[in-house]
Chains A and B, each alone.
Chain A
Amino acid sequence: MTPDTSAYYYAAYVLASALYAGYVLSLWWRASRLRK
């Protein structure tokens, strides 16, 4: 029987997305600070 491991799958995708989004936000924030 296939085990229910979906919680790990969701957690990995959410955390990875948060990491990439955080990095993009940091680029945007640093660029906007330099433009001011």
Chain B
Amino acid sequence: MLTLLGQRLLSAALVVVGVACLVFLLIHLVPGDPVDVMLGESAQPADRAALRHALGLDEPVGVQLVRYLDRLGHLDLGRSLQSHRPITALLRERLPATAELALASLGVALVLAFPLGIVAAVRPGTAWDYGAMGFSLFGVSIPNFWLGPVLILTFSLWLGWLPVSGRSAPGSVVLPALTLGTALAAILSRMVRSTLLEVLGEDYIRTARAKGLGTLAVVLRHGLRNALLPVITLLGLQLGGLLAGAVITETVFSWPGIGLLTVQAIQQRDYPVVQACVLVISLTYVVVNLLTDFVYAWADPRIRLGGRR
């Protein structure tokens, strides 16, 4: 198992370097001269030269890349062009909001997906099954930038139960978390259903039934435990989608997280902040996937014990 994890760690490290290089290259994709775009056509030559130097754009690209990676190694993400504050400080301010939203959405997704998936798998072909899978189809088809406004319209404006946007009022996390969690719940419930259906056809389930276990014990102890592995993998993969979806959801609800920071930075042409946000979100995704692999390897005795052969 250790060699497997070592290989996985190595390839993840390679990907991290690749991601950093690609993020570095983003600023060179700015059409024309990024300095012109940021300062406008009428800027003084001295200001341009100063900004060019501050961004390191007066150096050869190779030198710039090495410097960029070196600064990343020291956790220095540069300064914002707008507020002139260190970007690490900006990110630290925004991180708790995004983490709260992500965890709340994950909670929503798990709470919705498991009962739906289990019910659909235990009673396949019934109205329960069709209802759960109908929800799932809607869940994957509804774009979050539409679901968000519809939820605001229903629960904030018409019913007046929850705050419209922001993060200060109590209960303000509910609507963003519902918006973001629904799509994940839809995908997960499909996966729970299909793997559970597969597992429930196995011989050991028949054995468990034959020795007199109740349906609940069979489904939860013997069925769900074995159906959990593919669900863990999918969860890891989809968590990235959750982070990317947060960019749009946070914009809908003015939720002061990293996603909103990304969009604001794009609008203000604050390219170093855009780069930093994209980098941080992507690296989180890489790390989450790596952890998923580790959890998978640990949770599956065939892999956990397989290395001893």
- Asked if A and B bind, the verdict is no
Q: Which residues of A contact B (CB under 8 A)?
A: none
Q: Which residues of B contact A (CB under 8 A)?
A: none
